[in-house]
Amino acid sequence: MLTSKQSDRALPTFITLLVIGVLLMTFDVRLEGGGVVAVLRSGTQAIVSPMQRVAAYAVTPIANALDSLSNVASLREQNAALSAQLAESQASLVAVQDDLAKLALLEQIYDLETDGAELGQTVANVIGSVDAALIIDKGIRNGVLAGQPVIDTNGYVIGTVESASSGSATILPITASRDGLTVLVGSQTGTLVTRPFSSDLGLEMDLDVFDAREPVLAGDRVLTSAASTDYPAGLPVGEVIEDASPESTSLTTTVRPFVDPEALRFVIVLAWPPDPVSAVTDDTIPEEITDTTVAEEATSTTTTPEDDG
């Protein structure tokens, strides 16, 4: 039971821990998640991730069962919608296969070579989450490095790798990132930013186009821009859900991302940029050799879709 005497050292201890906590936060902000902080994160993940993997084996069926129970009311409608979507997708697939066959024929006729720009991909299971961040079961030894873009199995943008340990990594979804994402809507470039504390669980984002020349319409697709330093160009991000016209030279509208991070079970980490050496480093700087070697090794260990069969 409780003892009535309370230590007099509780308050000094509390204040000391608060000061340490605030110092750590300030330190993290100043280091922007790098340096010692990154090492600490990797170390903790390396220790905890084996336990998370084991727990995930037991937890996944339970989580799936509970998710199914919570969704049972809408299963019939979802089934009908998915059947229709499947029929449409199969029709589109046939059309795309025709196009690919024509393309291959034309390339053969004109003796063209593809540029070999296929990105290495690492497929990973989502084994857990902390707040909005997702934890996956692939890490540095599988070629997953901090900063790499992450997509879902449909190719839709999820976010980037925030930190990676040897056997696991943490993904920060675009809906939780403080940094804006440079995107393309039609021919206009804009910035996609999160909407904190939104009532719809962060599934809507704000799109700001600062040099707007034409209106954007509901249903317009939002793609990653070539101006983005975090993602390859042309990846689908979401769609505009409200019409908006330019006011003066800017416009703001709402975008719904294609991916709901909470519903993800699998993700694909892209080995991008494909050539980290030329993208990140300067040959004249000898200190960069270690980093680039790690990046090269990581790139070489990733699996391509062809490898996956």
Partner 1 sequence: MRARTALVIGLTVVIAVVIQTTLFGRLRVVTPDLVMLIGIMLALTRVRTEAVLGVAFLSGLIMDLLGASLIGLRAVVYTTVAYVAIRTRERAELGRVTIALWAGLLTLLGIVVLLLIGTLFGQAALLGGGAASVMILVPLANAAVAALFAPTFVRLVDRDRTALRYL
Query: Does the protein bind partner 1 through residue 55 (CB under 8 A)?
Result: yes
Query: Does the protein bind partner 1 through residue 28 (CB under 8 A)?
Result: yes
Stretch that binds partner 1, among 58-66, 89-97, 114-122, 218-226 (CB under 8 A): 58-66
Among 232, 294, 264, smallest CA distance to 135 is for 264
Query: Does the protein bind partner 1 through residue 203 (CB under 8 A)?
Result: yes
Query: Does the protein bind partner 1 through residue 188 (CB under 8 A)?
Result: no
Among 104, 106, 201, 289, binds partner 1 (CB under 8 A): 201
- List phi, psi (to 5°) of 213: -115, -20
- List phi, psi (to 5°) of 107: -60, -35
Query: Does the protein bind partner 1 through residue 10 (CB under 8 A)?
Result: yes
**Six token digits for residue 47:** 């220790």
Q: Which amino acid is at 271?
A: A
Query: Does the protein bind partner 1 through residue 45 (CB under 8 A)?
Result: yes
Query: Does the protein bind partner 1 through residue 114 (CB under 8 A)?
Result: no
Burial of 208 (C-beta count, 10 Å sphere; 0-12/13-18/19+): middle
Query: Does the protein bind partner 1 through residue 191 (CB under 8 A)?
Result: no
The torsion defined by the Cα of 112, 275, 295 and 289, in degrees rounded to 10, comes to 130
- By beta-carbon proximity to partner 1, the closer residue of 162 and 220 is 162
Number of residues in contact with partner 1 under rule CB under 8 A: 66
Q: Which residues of 173-187 are buried (b: 16+ CB within 10 A; e: fewer)?
A: bbbbbeebbbbbbbe
Among 111, 115, 131, 308, binds partner 1 (CB under 8 A): 131
Quick count: other Cβ atoms within 10 Å of Cβ 132? 17
What are the residues binding partner 1 (CB under 8 A)? 1-3, 6-7, 9-10, 13-14, 17-18, 20-25, 27-29, 37, 40-41, 44-45, 48, 51-52, 55-56, 59-60, 62-63, 66-67, 70, 126-133, 135, 162-163, 170, 172, 175-178, 194-203, 262-263
